[in-house]
Amino acid sequence: MKTLAVKFSLAAAVLAAGLGATPALAEKTKFEFWYGLSGDLGERVQDACKKFNDSQADYEIVCTSQNGYPETVQNAIAAYRAKKHPAIVQVFDGGTLDLMLSGAFVPAKKLMEDNGYKIDWANYFGGIANYYATSKGELYSFPFNSSTAMFYYNVDAFTKAGIEGAPQTWEDVEAAARKLKAAGYSCPLGFSFDTWAIVEQFSAIHNQPIATKNNGYDGLDTELVINKTKLVDHLTFFKKMTDEGLFVVKTKQLGMDVVPAFTSETCQMIQSSIADHGTIGKTIKPGAKWDVTMLPVWKGTERQNSLVGGASLWVLNNRPDAEYKGAAAFLNFIAQPDMVEWWSTVTGYIPVTKTGFEAMKANGFYDKPAYKGRDKAIASLTFTPTSANTRGIRLGGFPQIRKEISDAMEGIFFGKLTVQAGLDQAVERGNAILRRFEKTYAGRALN
């Protein structure tokens, strides 16, 4: 998850003295942290909070799941207006611009400097930091649970079908799908209408824009362009493969999402987050052989870095100074190498700093069978330096835009829309969302 490479930390006794009390007599400063993760990942956040509380006697972090990323942002905004907001809130990638323009936060650099922590901000992987940074490269929030999209495949099924090695290109995927089908597998590749892997990650690694103005980083007057890029051909390919029964739609609404489809060995290939690596390892049948690799590219493509997914931690303003001391201490705590490795071990999320990654490699983390392949996510994120098309996506109302694209994909794959008509519809509706957002923040410039 998110790693702050901290060069020194304040001793507990010094902090206690600064509060005017001895450690034995000081009352703990309580502060709140709202997060969006739920289920197994949500429980791991609770574990991290407990570890922090048990590590010192000055602060008590109270961690509460809001049961979803969009819900967390909405609840935090409502609480902020009522002046009952938490000190720290987890905001997913799609909500970054909303927080940036809100002005309702303490910038990451200011928080840590004000509380005596020295951070090497250049230690963050560029492919991670740039998604959450301003156009000038300044981080306003702390990268936390980071991931990227990967390609999972069932090695046992590949062996049975006579397929050697991991698919590197979509041509390889098609060939593998045909062999799997011939070998009796009814779902060679499963996919859903989640836009993150099929649209956003595909566009990045193929150096295709999502929108004008450098994917929105250079202004709110951006417009979507996904109906004019290689994405059109890619979705046309997906539709053809689906019509032939080689790719199969798998969603919760239809009874089984993509990860359960893979772990039940119903489908033999999927695209999903590296964060699912741990879940797959725990839920697929014991002894099953499977592996993970970087997302395929079309033959002849010069692969670019993939996009980071997940969320970052924002510290909201208008909280007492004592809470900021606690927030800084917590953010420092979860950035330490032992916590970074623990977090990656129990979740599947990746380290966000170079030193964190190197420490895990030196400890042999990626050599262990249970974690084999997770380092490929770092390789994907750092494959090239970030560019205008690969640094991130900075669009207003992005969660709603994602929904429009997802709805269009549903129409395409259920035969209600052609690929071009579906993408045209998503662009038209998405641009309307962008214009409303631009009007809401009229006169505001991106930093």
DSSP for 189-241, written as a single string: EEE-S-HIIIIIIHHHHTT--SBHHHHTTT-S---B-GGGSTHHHHHHHHHHH
Question: Is it the case that residue 434 has pLDDT exceeding 90?
Answer: yes
Q: What is the pLDDT of residue 131?
A: 85
Question: Is it the case that residue 86 has pLDDT exceeding 90?
Answer: yes
Report the Cα 283 to chain-centroid distance in Å. Answer: 22
Q: How confident is the model at residue 410 (pLDDT cuts 50, 70, 90)?
A: very high
% of residues, the chain, pLDDT over 70: 94
131 phi/psi in degrees, rounded to 5: -65, -35
What one-letter code names the amino acid at 148? T
Sign of the alpha-carbon dihedral angle for 108, 3, 42, 138: positive
Question: Is it the case that residue 1 has pLDDT exceeding 80?
Answer: no
Question: Is it the case that residue 212 has pLDDT exceeding 90?
Answer: yes
Going by the DSSP 8-state scheme, the letter that residue 34 receives in this structure is E
Over residues 116-135, mean pLDDT? 87
Which of 72-86, 306-320, 347-361 is predicted with the least confidence, judged by mean pLDDT? Answer: 347-361
Over residues 103-128, mean pLDDT? 91
Over residues 49-53, mean pLDDT? 98
Q: 310 pairs with which residues across the strands?
A: 146
Q: How confident is the model at residue 135 (pLDDT cuts 50, 70, 90)?
A: confident
Instruction: Indicate the average pLDDT of the chain.
Output: 91
Residue span(s) of the chain under CATH 3.40.190.10 come to: 12-147+309-363, 149-306+391-440
Q: What is the pLDDT of residue 222?
A: 97
Token couple for 220? 């709110």
Over residues 43-57, mean pLDDT? 97
Question: Taking a C-beta distance cutoff of 8 angstroms, is the pair 160, 183 a contact?
Answer: yes
Q: How confident is the model at residue 25 (pLDDT cuts 50, 70, 90)?
A: low
Over residues 103-109, mean pLDDT? 92
Q: How confident is the model at residue 376 (pLDDT cuts 50, 70, 90)?
A: very high
pTM of the model: 0.88
Question: Taking a C-beta distance cutoff of 8 angstroms, is the pair 434, 397 a contact?
Answer: yes
Q: What is the pLDDT of residue 26?
A: 64
Question: Is it the case that residue 127 has pLDDT exceeding 90?
Answer: no
Sign of the alpha-carbon dihedral angle for 391, 395, 399, 403: negative
Q: What is the pLDDT of residue 443?
A: 80
Beta strands in 47-179 (DSSP E): 59-65, 88-92, 105-106, 142-147, 149-154
Q: What is the pLDDT of residue 17?
A: 41
Over residues 397-417, mean pLDDT? 96
pLDDT, tens digit, 9 for 90 and up, residues 254-291: 889 999 999 999 999 999 999 899 889 999 999 999 99
> Is the CATH number 3.40.190.10 carried by domain 149-306+391-440?
yes
Which of 20-34, 69-83, 225-239 is predicted with the least confidence, judged by mean pLDDT? Answer: 20-34
Question: Is it the case that residue 14 has pLDDT exceeding 60?
Answer: no
Q: What is the pLDDT of residue 138?
A: 86
Question: Is it the case that residue 7 has pLDDT exceeding 80?
Answer: no
| Class of domain 12-147+309-363 as given by CATH | alpha beta
Q: What is the pLDDT of residue 257?
A: 95
Q: How confident is the model at residue 4 (pLDDT cuts 50, 70, 90)?
A: very low
Which of 130-134, 213-217, 300-304 is predicted with the least confidence, judged by mean pLDDT? Answer: 130-134
Of 120, 307, 53, 45, the residue nearest 196 (C-alpha): 307
Question: Taking a C-beta distance cutoff of 8 angstroms, is the pair 295, 380 a contact?
Answer: yes
